[in-house]
């Protein structure tokens, strides 16, 4: 099977590597990055340019195209591929609105009876002020559009909350903001692979959203992750499939916009029960790096079955009996204003971990920083202690100017505690 992966992050590097484990699979990637280019042929096209992606898929005679990031999904690249008769892993543009618009996701959840935070959609600053006072602190203010995980402000400072709301409303012609009730409790990322009818859950993971140790500093795309969750309540996955993933997939089908691909539920396990914080329409980054490392079944068969509507006949997934931890190494200034260009050294000295590349570029043989999240260093172990030790041992071999990472990824879980951000 020939598979073309679209994207250029560490998530796509993990997808490429995991697909390459399957026999008879040939993987290429567009546009990729310096690390992916060491493993597979890469093609420098714009991932959101549908006709260019279709042309490349035809040229490569791809049997399956796997779309990694949200931007090409929302832009309708999967629709262009389907129109050309090419099987694609990833939802239509209409279905990707579950991620593209927080207001749309709320409507779908309300119609499907999926538990989520109460929320107000505001298009004026006065409405936003009233919504803030309806819920009181802690305030949660979300840009309605795509913001790569960085459009959300959670704060006790009313003025900061209102300033963010104003920036979202005035930042775009049709700017809008969602203000919602604060959800307490630990967070879980649970991925469901679906073909529009059947849902196959993956191994639950926890992501670390804030830039600094102890969940301090601004939100990022994610600074590290681990799987499985030793503290998770028994039956969590089954509960989330029954109460969240399956009803959402059924609701999307009923609306005539079936969702196929990966439905990512970002959850809060609150004292009043499990609530959805957000949906994403694609694999999470960096959770994918740990989830796919733990997967012990052929990924190509899973993604192809999603693309072709045959998930119901797929054998049950197998998972390795081990823990996996990934640590993100970020560029100076990330997330506000990442500084690019620093030369990365030590990549070849890492032995007990896998280094998935994100923002890297090959500059005449030097691997240099080209984005905010630069590398994700991923390692397995018999338990979280061993997986952490292996991952941080890998991190300690790699150097670049201005590099920063969290040192507390999976620490509390390894010590038998629950991590609540
Ligand atoms: P989102 O982009 O919606 O995933 O939000 C990013 C992060 O903000 C989440 O992972 C949470 O840590 C936090 N967050 C979002 N919504 C809420 C909420 N209603 N209550 C508490 N924290 C939230
Ligand atoms: N790690 C969070 C996300 O992928 O959105």
CATH of the domain at 203: 3.30.470.20
Q: How far is 387 from 309, CA to CA, in rounded Å?
A: 36
Using one digit for the tens of pLDDT, what is the confidence trace for 263-278?
999 999 999 999 999 9
Question: Is the beta carbon of 117 within 6 A of some atom in ligand 1?
Answer: yes
Q: Kindly report the CATH number assigned to the domain that includes residue 26.
A: 3.40.50.20
Quick check: is 333 in a domain? yes
Residue (of 267, 209, 208, 198) closest to 236 by Cα position:
267
pLDDT band, residue 390 (cuts 50/70/90): very high
Residues 135 and 210 in one domain: no
Number of domains in the chain: 4
Q: Kindly report the CATH number assigned to the domain that includes residue 132.
A: 3.30.1490.20
Residues 277 and 197 in one domain: yes
Average pLDDT (167-195) is 92
Question: Which residue would you say has higher pLDDT here, 109 or 146?
Answer: 109
Contact 288, 222 (CB under 8 A): no
**Domain range for residue 83?**
2-89
pLDDT band, residue 174 (cuts 50/70/90): confident
pLDDT band, residue 148 (cuts 50/70/90): low
Residues 191 and 176 in one domain: no
**Measuring from atom 5 of ligand 2, which residue has the nearest CA?**
284
Task: Report the side by side order of strands in the sheet with 354-357.
Answer: 206-207, 224-227, 323-330, 373-381, 354-357
Using one digit for the tens of pLDDT, what is the confidence trace for 77-106?
999 999 999 999 999 999 999 998 888 999
Residue (of 305, 229, 306, 203) closest to 262 by Cα position:
306
pLDDT band, residue 187 (cuts 50/70/90): very high
- b/e per residue 214-253 (b: at least 16 CB within 10 A): ebeeebbbbbbbbbbbeebeeebbeebbebbbbbbbbbbb
Cα–Cα distances (Å) from 417 to 275, 356, 360, 413, in that order, read 21, 28, 35, 5
Quick check: is 19 in a domain? yes
Using one digit for the tens of pLDDT, what is the confidence trace for 155-172?
999 999 999 999 999 988
Give residue 16 CA to ligand 1 midpoint distance, Å: 29
Question: Which residue would you say has higher pLDDT here, 145 or 225?
Answer: 225
Looking at all shown ligands, the one closest to residue 225's CA atom is: 2
Question: Is the beta carbon of 152 within 6 A of some atom in ligand 1?
Answer: yes
Residues 199 and 304 in one domain: yes
Contact 386, 376 (CB under 8 A): no
Per DSSP, the residues of 326-364 read: EEEEE-TTTTTS----PBPB-GGG--SSEEEESSEEEET
What's the whole-model pTM score? 0.94
Q: Which residues pair with 200 in a beta bridge?
A: 193
**Measuring from atom 4 of ligand 1, which residue has the nearest CA?**
278
Which among 70, 151, 154 is the best mutation to test ligand 1's pocket, defined by most ligand atoms within 8 Å of the CB?
A: 154
Quick check: is 109 in a domain? no
Using one digit for the tens of pLDDT, what is the confidence trace for 367-377?
999 999 999 99
Pocket of ligand 2 (CB under 6 A): 149, 207, 221-222, 280, 284-285, 287
Task: Provide, rounded to the nearest whole percent, the portion of the chain with pLDDT above 90.
Answer: 92
Give residue 364 CA to ligand 2 midpoint distance, Å: 32
Q: Kindly report the CATH number assigned to the domain that includes residue 385.
A: 3.90.600.10
pLDDT band, residue 111 (cuts 50/70/90): very high
């Amino acid at each position: 099977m020939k598979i073309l992966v679209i994207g250029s992050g560490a998530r796509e590097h993990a997808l490429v590597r995991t697909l390459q484990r399957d026999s008879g699979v040939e993987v290429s990637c567009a546009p990729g990055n310096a690390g992916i280019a060491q493993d597979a042929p890469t093609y420098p096209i714009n991932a959101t340019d549908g006709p260019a992606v279709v042309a490349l898929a035809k040229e490569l005679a791809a049997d399956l195209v796997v779309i990694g990031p949200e931007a090409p999904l929302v832009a309708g690249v999967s629709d262009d591929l389907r129109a050309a008769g090419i099987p694609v892993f990833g939802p239509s543009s209409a279905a990707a609105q579950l991620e593209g618009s927080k207001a749309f996701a709320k409507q779908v959840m309300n119609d499907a009876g999926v538990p989520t935070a109460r929320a107000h959609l505001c298009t004026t600053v006065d409405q936003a002020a009233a919504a803030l006072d309806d819920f009181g602190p802690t305030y949660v203010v979300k840009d309605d559009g795509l913001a790569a995980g960085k459009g959300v402000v959670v704060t006790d400072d009313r003025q900061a909350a209102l300033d963010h709301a104003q920036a979202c409303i005035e930042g775009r012609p049709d700017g809008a903001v969602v203000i919602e009730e604060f959800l307490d409790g630990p967070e879980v990322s649970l991925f469901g692979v679906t073909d529009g009818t059947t849902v196959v859950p993956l191994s639950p993971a926890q992501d670390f959203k804030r830039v600094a140790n102890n969940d301090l500093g601004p939100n990022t795309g994610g600074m590290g992750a681990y799987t499985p969750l030793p503290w998770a309540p028994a039956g969590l996955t089954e509960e989330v499939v029954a109460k969240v993933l399956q009803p959402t997939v059924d609701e999307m089908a009923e609306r005539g916009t079936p969702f196929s691909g990966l439905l990512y539920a970002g959850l809060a396990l609150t004292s009043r029960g499990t609530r959805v914080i957000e949906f994403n329409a694609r694999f999470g980054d960096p959770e994918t790096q740990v989830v796919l490392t733990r997967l012990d079944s052929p990924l190509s068969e899973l993604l192809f079955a999603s693309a072709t509507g045959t998930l119901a006949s797929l054998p049950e997934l197998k998972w390795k009996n081990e823990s996996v931890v990934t640590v993100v190494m970020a560029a100076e200034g990330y997330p506000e204003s990442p500084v690019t260009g620093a030369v990365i050294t030590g990549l070849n000295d890492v032995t007990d971990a896998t280094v998935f590349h994100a923002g890297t570029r090959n500059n005449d043989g030097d691997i240099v920083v080209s984005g905010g999240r630069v590398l994700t260093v991923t390692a397995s172990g018999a338990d979280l202690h061993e997986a952490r030790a292996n991952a941080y041992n890998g991190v300690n071999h790699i150097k670049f100017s201005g590099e920063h990472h969290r040192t507390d990824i999976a620490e509390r879980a390894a010590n038998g505690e629950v991590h609540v951000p």
